[in-house]
Amino acid sequence: MPSTPLIAPSILSADFSRLAEAVSLVEAAGADWIHIDVMDGHFVPNLTVGPPIVEAVRKVTTLPLDVHLMMTNPDAFIGEFADAGADVLTVHVEACSHLHRTLQSIKERNVKAGVTLNPATSVSTLEEVIHEADLILVMSVNPGFGGQTFIPACLEKISRIRQILNSGKNPGLLEVDGGINLHNAGSIIKAGADVLVSGSAIFGSDDFSITIQQMRTAGQTINV
Ligand code: DX5
Ligand code: ZN
């Protein structure tokens, strides 16, 4: 795992009428990835964006685009999202009947393949595919909306997945998404997160640069 986590601002909390500016601002403020939440109004009770917005964001940043597919049928859109410029495509365990095939299909397009679990979904559902995935995403809220409260029970889940990843020959990244702020980021990093997704805590702050920097270093303890 990286020594300090990567920070991936979620544009769900940005002003969509000024999306290019929002992406440029978080890039200048030190963001590592841009997290794009795709919601289909079926898998989750909200609708957001599709491949044209990923393509538009691709034109205004050089940062990796981390595309989180909250969709019932992600397989039907993997090609479109890859062509639009996604660097990471993350699918939900709960939405994929043939998860191994889905991960292969993402990787065949030279895109990093991520797998995510809702808060109520057991770590055991990852057992047969965890080492096929480039990234595991732990949802720390029930997906669908920004600005929700972090579910504390997810900390233990993060630790367990960290241990499993560390035991593999080629450990993937461990990402956490939902309700992350400057108060809980330290615990999440200490539990083993490599990538922190944050929407409202970054876009709702007065200074993106300070917030991103404080979030990144929140897991560091000062030895005196
Ligand atoms: C929730 C999304 C998250 C969301 C995070 O369904 O997957 O990426 O934007 O927003 P905050 O950080 O506000 O919880
Ligand atoms: Zn997300």
Q: What ranges do the domains of the chain cover?
A: 6-220
Predicted pLDDT of residue 168: 84
Q: List, in order, residues 6 or more apart from 166 with CB less than 8 Å away.
A: none
Predicted pLDDT of residue 101: 98
Rounded to the nearest angstrom, the gap between the alpha carbon of residue 218 and the centroid of all alpha carbons in its chain is 18
Active-site annotation holder among 40, 66, 177, 194: 177
Long-range contacts of 105-111 (CB under 8 A, 24+ apart): 105/75, 105/78, 106/78, 106/82, 107/134, 109/78, 109/79, 109/82, 110/82, 111/78, 111/81, 111/82, 111/86, 111/87
CATH code of 6-220, in short, is: 3.20.20.70
Predicted pLDDT of residue 171: 77
Predicted pLDDT of residue 2: 54
Residue 179 one-letter amino acid: G
- How many angstroms separate the Cα of 216 from the Cα of each of 33, 58, 90? 13, 24, 22
Predicted pLDDT of residue 224: 56
Q: Work out which ligand 1 atom sits closest to the CA atom of 199.
A: 12
134 annotated active-site: no
Predicted pLDDT of residue 218: 97
Q: Work out which ligand 1 atom sits closest to the CA atom of 68.
A: 7
Q: What does the block give as tokens for 41?
A: 């109004």
Predicted pLDDT of residue 61: 98
pTM assigned to the model: 0.97
Predicted pLDDT of residue 3: 73
Low-confidence ranges of the chain (pLDDT < 70): 1-2, 170, 222-224
Pairing type for strands 88-92 and 135-139 reads unpaired
206 annotated active-site: no
- Give the residue, by CA position, lying nearest to ligand 1 atom 1: 143
Predicted pLDDT of residue 169: 73
